[in-house]
Structure 1
């Protein structure tokens, strides 16, 4: 009875929180699925089935459990993304330079997840996960002098992932999952207050240039293999296929006050194609002795399928919002796990996370760059069947330059800026088996 109440309460928490995500990983990827995994920077995650959260990275590994497993995780992500730069406007009275610096443009977020797995018999197991793989939230203040490049950008998603796994032998298992993903996105630009006087009317400041929002449900799949050639070694290979979404919604603009034709063009229904990239992971977990083990992962994300943000309007007009041209990325991670005693396990890890955005297409709306992860975590066993995981992750992004140009009527603005990014992640997870 206690287990059932705990599961219901955790489910309610997850459904309430999953729609508020923020990312400081490649592109707009979210890695906050597992507190025990975050404790070693997600190294070896697909090859180390410690609890039900393994389902997010490798469905085949759920055959390692001989009892039903339940995990509920919650992470607090506190990104610190600052912009230092200036915007030069070419106006009728000559060039005008405006400060384009802003602090904390990325929103903090609470990111929960839920997992349940259960064996059916000695060969078959099944499971269900609720989590987010992609999310983004940036928001610039009303006084920011480069709002025509970025005002607000938000992508939220939730994936429901049922999965089954089959144990082919004592050493090899295969798994298959279905991904049902709901996504909601919004992107907008506005007229900066500092530019509005040069358009002939200071009251134009903060009027929306373009705002596009929409949502959709997409379907995908994921597979995995889990191989244990010896009691000391586990190897995993997993693949989560691309999810293609067509976000149906509306486009809105206040530009009709400048040009009635623009008001007619921009205020109507439309759709936006958005692809969530495919992810491949090769992972290894190697036991050194009864207490020490090391983990490693190589992750490859097929970001090159995300080439542009283009609104397809109901009128038949295609409006290019942003040329993205993302690049495929690699993520390399290594970790260590130490079993101190029957109650306490310690972890640490490091990861290098490749940025998906090239310098030529780096923008204020998706502040992406290469990152270094350093993490530490622990598991404390409350009882034989129940444990608590905790982790802390520090992420430091490489300084990145941003150069963009955009016209607002007769005024052409050129942005030159530098992004500075770091983040702190705190994660807690409870696991129980029954």
Structure 2
């Protein structure tokens, strides 16, 4: 019975790794919607309507376009996330005496998976006052994967969250200086996570065959609905100000929970090999932005983005059997991203951009884990636009994102085996974005 309850706690904590963070933004947020915006670290994005990709940030800004616009973007994200640390392991008998103790390497290289993130946007004016559009993009996602030989697989093995949002919008030009916009969001999300018994633990549990056995694997998906609003104000002839808000999206991921350990612990087979659901809230996002024209060639941009990660306070699972399990108190914290950028019109065909952003992490030290190694990060970006014709252009951007070194400390039990892990996370990423825009 003692072994069962220890394993049950391990399973619950393992399920919590569904909230693993991305190296690119606080929590597991995705910002790759616009190559032109990415070139200036997304600074002033809500106030800078250059092409149809503005729809993802501020629906009100699409009234600036007098003809139909189409933009297609793809970003290639190449992260490098390394874990360096040690894990102290002790095996106890029923009397609490230590039967075995050892220190294992808990280091792992390149745990985050590279990915291509596409997005598509279309906008069109209905008349002088009303415009509409639709966007297809992702606001949240992650992918981490530890090797089969990693000694901390019972803390984290693999985790993947993928989301996709369709965002139809309508905008109204109130007067010559003010536009308002409203959108609906249809978001599909799927997730798969798993943890396993490390190979080194097989012999400690009495069978080498238990090495790499799945402790728990859960997969599920859901469709949820939300909304967003925006405003664009031409404060002066050279100053645009913007406000945008994307509401929280509440998902209930339904799927299956599986475990390989039912053969040795029947209660595990009964409890975890069944259907279930897990609540996952995608945080609300608020942006205040400015675009200031300095002269005919130069302009500067800035944004403050507030993400309400405090809504992600816990993970709660409901199993088909009726069991209601509080998996983990997450206690994420609200985060800020501050960004500044500049745009230079080099010629009629070439526009150059650069930017910097400071992105505040959403996870505090006491809640950081191998699956949630979130930390503060710095963005350094450059970009350019080349006009192929009067109606078609290509945007390119590159970003180097550097995370602050983050300390991780965790403890977990599997039966009579107790593990204490102390490690640091080192994260960086290279991101390449390419976008084509056309008007017609």
Q: Return the TM-score normalized by structure 1.
A: 0.94
Q: Take 1:261 and 1:251, find their aligned partners in 2: how far apart are those partners?
A: 14
Report the CA distance between 1:320 and its aligned residue.
Answer: 4.0
User: In the alignment, which residue of structure 2 is the partner of 1:374?
Assistant: 380
User: In the alignment, which residue of structure 1 is the partner of 2:421?
Assistant: 415
User: Do residues 41 (structure 1) and 41 (structure 2) align?
Assistant: yes
**Aligned with 1:31: secondary structure?**
coil
User: In the alignment, which residue of structure 1 is the partner of 2:68?
Assistant: 68
2:227 aligned to which of 203, 206, 221: 221
User: Do residues 341 (structure 1) and 347 (structure 2) align?
Assistant: yes
User: In the alignment, which residue of structure 2 is the partner of 1:172?
Assistant: 178
User: In the alignment, which residue of structure 2 is the partner of 1:152?
Assistant: 158
User: In the alignment, which residue of structure 1 is the partner of 2:55?
Assistant: 55
Q: Take 2:23 and 2:418, find their aligned partners in 1: how far apart are those partners?
A: 31
Q: Return the TM-score normalized by structure 2.
A: 0.93
**Aligned with 1:289: secondary structure?**
coil
Report the CA distance between 1:368 and its aligned residue.
Answer: 1.1
How many residues align? The count is 414
2:134 aligned to which of 121, 128, 147: 128
Consecutive unaligned residues in structure 1, runs of 5 or more: 1-20
Q: Take 2:281 and 2:140, find their aligned partners in 1: how far apart are those partners?
A: 10
Q: Which one is further off, 174-183 or 259-268?
A: 259-268
Q: Take 1:262 and 1:196, find their aligned partners in 2: how far apart are those partners?
A: 18
Report the CA distance between 1:343 and its aligned residue.
Answer: 0.3
Report the CA distance between 1:311 and its aligned residue.
Answer: 2.0
Is the contact between residue 124 and residue 167 of structure 1 (CA under 8 Å) also seen in structure 2? yes
Report the CA distance between 1:333 and its aligned residue.
Answer: 0.1
Cα-to-partner distance string for 1:359-405 (whole Å, 9 max, x where unaligned)? 10111113311000000000000000100000000000000011111
User: Do residues 28 (structure 1) and 28 (structure 2) align?
Assistant: yes
Report the CA distance between 1:22 and its aligned residue.
Answer: 6.2
Cα-to-partner distance string for 1:42-77 (whole Å, 9 max, x where unaligned)? 000000000000000000000000000000000000
Consecutive unaligned residues in structure 2, runs of 5 or more: 1-20, 93-98
User: Do residues 365 (structure 1) and 371 (structure 2) align?
Assistant: yes
Is the contact between residue 23 and residue 403 of structure 2 (CA under 8 Å) also seen in structure 1? no
Is the contact between residue 68 and residue 122 of structure 2 (CA under 8 Å) also seen in structure 1? yes
Structure 1 runs (4+) deviating above 4 angstroms are none
**Aligned with 1:40: secondary structure?**
coil
Cα-to-partner distance string for 1:175-226 (whole Å, 9 max, x where unaligned)? 0000000000112111011122111112101111111110000000000000
2:117 aligned to which of 88, 108, 111: 111
User: In the alignment, which residue of structure 2 is the partner of 1:307?
Assistant: 313
Q: Which one is further off, 94-103 or 376-385?
A: 94-103
**Aligned with 1:148: secondary structure?**
coil
User: In the alignment, which residue of structure 2 is the partner of 1:187?
Assistant: 193
User: In the alignment, which residue of structure 2 is the partner of 1:3?
Assistant: none
Report the CA distance between 1:27 and its aligned residue.
Answer: 0.4
Q: Take 2:329 and 2:257, find their aligned partners in 1: how far apart are those partners?
A: 18
Report the CA distance between 1:230 and its aligned residue.
Answer: 1.8
Q: Take 2:76 and 2:139, find their aligned partners in 1: how far apart are those partners?
A: 15
